[in-house]
């Protein structure tokens, strides 16, 4: 198999309401992919975002982001009117998301829809509640409690609610029944609209690559409802948290702050929670990219309370038995291993033993001091090649920032003259497309030749990430034809 696809987060789709959604533009995007000869659409995690607006710090690993619910569909269904939607301020910059305005408007709009819906009498909604009860009840309760405490983290709630004492939870459910049902309603809308969009993609020969973060957020329904699965003390405060050690990119390391798993407990339950999580992902997506694959071999443990990641140490992860259990219980599911970063021989062996394809990023390839696994002549077929990912700069921005020696190496590798850098994004795209990698994924920003202003995320920073959006008329027939011709040239139409 040789195929190609494009990376574009749902939030980055064009729309009239401040953020990408399951709107007409999403269906048009699938049409664009088909016209360009693509077979895959890769997205980022679709969970409800919390602090920093990161999809990797979600309030739930199961829930969907209510921001993605399309308002126009609610108008078509007669629940809201166009005039009502236009009363809300979703932001006025089509290029960048204004999350504060989205937060202040989207839930008010959805609450109005809920109050008119009479959804509790809908048999399909009742079936949705029943089928998804293993996560939906905890998520809706968590969000309702969080809202009642002014958005505070569950670690700052009153002790009886924080510790999930039964009488306190029952009392809250009785008083806040409407709020809980509202959050269940948003998940129902998300699921209906996403299922329809995914079916449209599949009917047009497009598969969806979703993203499964290895860790969940501390401030999440997952940690609050299942504290026994995490490294927490008696008062449910973290004992140690996740991150990465110091390296050339971060002198003090990366302090992610996610709670770490009690892997022995997961093993004792035959990874029941993980199996539910992964099985649910395969309801949402056709292919799942497992983030931070290295963490399953060994994970970096940082004592809670530290200001940097410098005092952390490595602990053994669940290893191959975890993935063997996935295969035994779920079958031959289609998984991509995100094996980027500092990779040891034990990680390479784990990847080989699972049989999963790893990732190759061309922006990591050109280090003039040494050979690199990311150079195409070192690939085998069982890998996925990217020019860059959501955590990288765009090709144009990257090429302008690397040192002279690395730039010279890249040009020599591609047989380009020093002055011939105008089309550098397409030169790198060509290198990816012609490689032996079975799948080639290119961020849409690189096809458009955009610079650093189009970057999705800069790791270890907060404030300006996850904001970039595609403009409504930015994808032209000329561009799609150019992509299609290159895809065809290198035999990736399969």
Q: Domains in the chain, start-ordered, CATH in brackets?
A: 3-112+181-215+261-301+315-489 (3.20.20.80)
pLDDT above 80 for 457: yes
Give the tens place of pLDDT for each residue, 354-380. 999 999 999 999 988 888 999 999 999
What percentage of residues in the chain have a pLDDT greater than 90? 92
Give the tens place of pLDDT for each residue, 68-100. 999 999 999 999 999 999 999 999 999 999 999
Q: The tokens of 193 are what?
A: 């609209």
pLDDT above 80 for 248: no
- Among 179, 211, 338, 393, the active-site one is 338
Question: What average pLDDT score do residues 218-227 get?
Answer: 98
Gap between the Cα atoms of 195 and 108, Å rounded = 24
pLDDT above 90 for 418: no
Question: What average pLDDT score do residues 294-300 get?
Answer: 97
Q: Is 338 a catalytic residue?
A: yes
Question: What average pLDDT score do residues 276-293 get?
Answer: 98
pLDDT band at 50 (very low <50, low <70, confident <90, very high): confident
pTM: 0.96
Q: The tokens of 388 are what?
A: 């860059």
What percentage of residues in the chain have a pLDDT greater than 70? 99
CB 10 within 8 A of CB 26: yes
pLDDT band at 140 (very low <50, low <70, confident <90, very high): very high
pLDDT score, position 41 = 98
pLDDT band at 436 (very low <50, low <70, confident <90, very high): very high
Gap between the Cα atoms of 154 and 160, Å rounded = 11
Gap between the Cα atoms of 411 and 424, Å rounded = 9
Q: Is 373 a catalytic residue?
A: no
Question: What average pLDDT score do residues 170-197 get?
Answer: 98
Question: What average pLDDT score do residues 93-109 get?
Answer: 96
Cα distances (angstroms) measured from residue 12 to each of 429, 472, 476: 21, 11, 17
pLDDT above 80 for 282: yes
Question: What average pLDDT score do residues 29-41 get?
Answer: 98
pLDDT score, position 138 = 97
pLDDT score, position 494 = 64
- Among 310, 391, 474, 484, the active-site one is 391
**Which of 385, 489, 492, 478 has its CA nearest to residue 32?**
478
Residues in the chain: 494
Q: Is 391 a catalytic residue?
A: yes
Gap between the Cα atoms of 146 and 159, Å rounded = 13
pLDDT band at 328 (very low <50, low <70, confident <90, very high): very high
Collapse the DSSP code of 6 into the 3-class scheme (helix H, G, I; strand E, B; otherwise coil) and give the result: strand
pLDDT score, position 118 = 93
- Among 291, 363, 393, 427, the active-site one is 291
pLDDT above 90 for 437: yes
Collapse the DSSP code of 368 into the 3-class scheme (helix H, G, I; strand E, B; otherwise coil) and give the result: coil
pLDDT above 90 for 462: no
> Which residues lie below 8 Å from residue 401, measured CB to CB, with a gap of 6+?
393, 452
């Amino acid at each position: 198999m040789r195929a190609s696809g494009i990376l574009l987060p749902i939030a980055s789709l064009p729309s009239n309401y401040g953020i990408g959604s399951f709107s007409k533009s999403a269906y048009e995007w699938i049409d664009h992919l088909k016209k360009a000869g693509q077979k895959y659409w890769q997205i980022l995690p679709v969970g409800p975002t919390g602090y920093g607006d990161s999809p990797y710090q979600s309030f739930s690993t199961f829930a969907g982001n209510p921001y993605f619910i399309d308002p126009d569909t609610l108008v078509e269904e007669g629940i809201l009117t166009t005039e009502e939607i236009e009363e809300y301020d979703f932001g006025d910059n089509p290029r960048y998301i204004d999350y504060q305005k989205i937060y202040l408007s989207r839930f008010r709009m959805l609450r109005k829809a809920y109050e008119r819906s009479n959804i509790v009498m809908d048999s399909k909604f009742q079936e949705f509640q029943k089928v998804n009860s293993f996560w939906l009840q905890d998520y809706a309760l968590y969000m309702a409690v969080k809202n009642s405490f002014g958005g505070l983290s569950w670690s700052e709630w009153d002790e009886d609610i924080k510790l999930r004492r039964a009488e306190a939870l029952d009392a809250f459910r009785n008083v806040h029944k409407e709020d809980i049902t509202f959050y269940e309603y948003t998940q129902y809308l998300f699921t209906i609209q996403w299922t329809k969009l995914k079916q449209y993609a599949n009917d047009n020969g497009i598969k969806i690559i979703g993203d499964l973060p290895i860790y969940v957020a501390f401030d999440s329904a997952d940690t609050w409802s299942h504290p026994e699965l995490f490294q927490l003390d008696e008062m449910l405060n973290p004992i140690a948290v996740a991150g990465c050690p110091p390296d050339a990119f971060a002198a003090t390391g990366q302090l992610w702050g996610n709670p770490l798993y009690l892997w022995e407990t997961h093993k004792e339950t035959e990874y029941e929670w993980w199996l539910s999580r992964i099985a649910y992902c395969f309801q949402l997506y056709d292919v799942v990219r497992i983030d931070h694959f290295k963490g399953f071999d060994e994970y970096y443990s940082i004592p809670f309370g530290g200001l940097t990641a410098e005092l952390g140490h490595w602990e053994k992860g669940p290893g191959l038995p975890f993935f063997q259990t996935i295969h035994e219980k779920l079958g031959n599911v289609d998984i991509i291993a995100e094996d980027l970063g500092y990779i040891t021989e034990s990680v390479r062996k784990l990847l080989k033993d699972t049989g999963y394809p790893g990732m190759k990023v061309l922006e990591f390839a050109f280090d003039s001091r040494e050979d690199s696994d990311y150079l195409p002549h070192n690939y085998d077929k069982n890998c996925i090649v990217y020019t860059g990912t959501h955590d990288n700069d765009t090709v144009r921005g990257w090429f302008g920032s690397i040192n002279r020696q690395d730039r010279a190496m890249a040009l020599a590798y591609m047989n380009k003259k020093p002055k011939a850098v105008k089309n550098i994004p397409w030169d790198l795209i060509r290198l990816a497309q012609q490689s032996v990698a079975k799948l080639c994924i290119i961020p849409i920003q690189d096809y458009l030749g955009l610079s650093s202003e189009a970057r999705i995320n800069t790791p270890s920073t907060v404030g300006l990430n996850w904001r970039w959006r595609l403009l409504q008329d930015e994808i032209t027939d000329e561009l799609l034809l150019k992509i299609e011709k290159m895809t065809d040239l290198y035999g990736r139409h399969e």
